Amino acid sequence: GNSVTQMEGPVTLSEEAFLTINCTYTATGYPSLFWYVQYPGEGLQLLLKATKADDKGSNKGFEATYRKETTSFHLEKGSVQVSDSAVYFCALNQAGTALIFGKGTTLSVSS
Amino acid sequence: EAQVTQNPRYLITVTGKKLTVTCSQNMNHEYMSWYRQDPGLGLRQIYYSMNVEVTDKGDVPEGYKVSRKEKRNFPLILESPSPNQTSLYFCASSLWGQGVNEQYFGPGTRLTVT
């Protein structure tokens, strides 16, 4: 069946450092891929998405590229801020099926 | 404002005392779902509904019930809560069917069963 694997956290960075959170997936066909973010005390919200191979999703300085050859959708940001501290979830979805989440990666950014 | 609301946000109860967590969305979404979030386990789907009167089990349905009598509401019912149901619960909704359907999440309900 479909699945999503994320790098385990926590990830601890200093402000302005470069961020990568790895995500790989297993799926039949061509899923859509997502990154959701959960700030402390809040629900999940969509950060970015990509619907086909080689698409790049971007939002708030974060980017992720849908790589079908490596079945990956790694999240990157060039310069993190303290306000980026949150839990990040990679997820996949195929039309007519439920969203499947990775286990989440906690990011902690210090000033 | 488009949103998913959950009530209550926090609940402490005792083993065996029936409880209901409400979920409501104002976006006319067909699909609604309940998740629980536990440390180290991520989000696990409890139940979902693809439309009124259509519900199905997710990955961890034991000990839970749901109903979908109206499109906007999807309550989660714990008939006899146990301590292993202590968790953070999220309701979500989306359109259903073709295309990419972003899920919108409620703010969460933190449940403690003693």
Q: What is the pLDDT along chain B (114 residues), one digit of tens a residue?
A: 889 999 999 999 999 999 999 999 999 999 999 999 998 888 899 999 989 999 999 989 999 999 999 999 999 999 999 999 999 999 999 887 655 678 899 999 999 999
Both tokens of residue B79? 């008939």
DSSP code of residue B46: E
Residue A90, Cβ neighbours under 10 Å: how many?
29
Query: Can you tell me which residue has the tokens 């069963």?
Result: B113
d(CA B106, CA A48) in angstroms, rounded, equals 18
Q: What are A's interface residues with B at a Cβ cutoff of 8 A?
A: 32, 34, 36, 42-46, 49, 51, 89, 93, 95-96, 98-99, 101-104
B61 in reach of chain A (CB within 8 A): no
Both tokens of residue A80? 């993190």
Cβ-contact B105, B6 below 8 angstroms: no
What number of CA atoms fall less than 13 Å from residue A110's CA on the CB side?
A: 4
Q: Is beta strand A105-110 parallel, antiparallel or unpaired with respect to A86-93?
A: antiparallel
- With beta carbons under 8 A apart, name residues in chain B contacting A51: 100
Per-residue pLDDT reduced to its tens digit, A32-64 = 999 999 998 888 999 999 989 999 999 999 999
For residue B50, the chain A residue with the least C-alpha distance is A96
Does the distance separating the beta carbons of A98 and B48 come in below 8 Å? Answer: yes
B48 in reach of chain A (CB within 8 A): yes
